[in-house]
Amino acid sequence: MPKFVIEREIPGIGNLSDTEVREISQKSVTVLKGMGPAIQWLHSYVTGDKLYCVYLAPDEAAVREHARRGGFPANRISAVRRLIDPTTAE
């Protein structure tokens, strides 16, 4: 299944409390359950004002639909073409 990185601009996200982050996560999971197993959230990286989420989804439209249903921004959606890491150099 294709993998996507979603950049979400959310001012101050890096300063949210654990409770606030949990609530956002719960909303996302609820929307995902309603959309069925074709779209999956793998993990996210939180920075000061952005959230970078990694999803498996059949296409970009599914990622956009998740954002719409959840009320989350999806400022940039990029399809992952390849994964590299230090072992790539070997």
pLDDT of residue 30: 97
Cα distances (Å, whole numbers) of residue 33 to 19, 28, 57, 65: 21, 9, 13, 13
CATH homologous superfamily for 3-81? Answer: ORF SCO4226, nickel-binding ferredoxin-like monomer (3.30.70.3090)
Q: How far apart are CA 85 and CA 8, in angstroms?
A: 24
Q: Where are the domains of the chain?
A: 3-81
Q: Residues 15-27: what's their mean pLDDT?
A: 95
What predicted TM-score, i.e. pTM, was given to this entire model? 0.91
For β-strands 50-56 and 76-79, DSSP reports them as unpaired
> Tens digit of pLDDT for each residue in 33-90?
999 999 999 999 999 999 999 999 999 999 999 999 999 999 999 999 999 999 999 9
DSSP-assigned states of every residue in 35-80: H-TT-EEEEEEE-SSEEEEEEE-SSHHHHHHHHHHHT----EEEE-
pLDDT of residue 27: 96
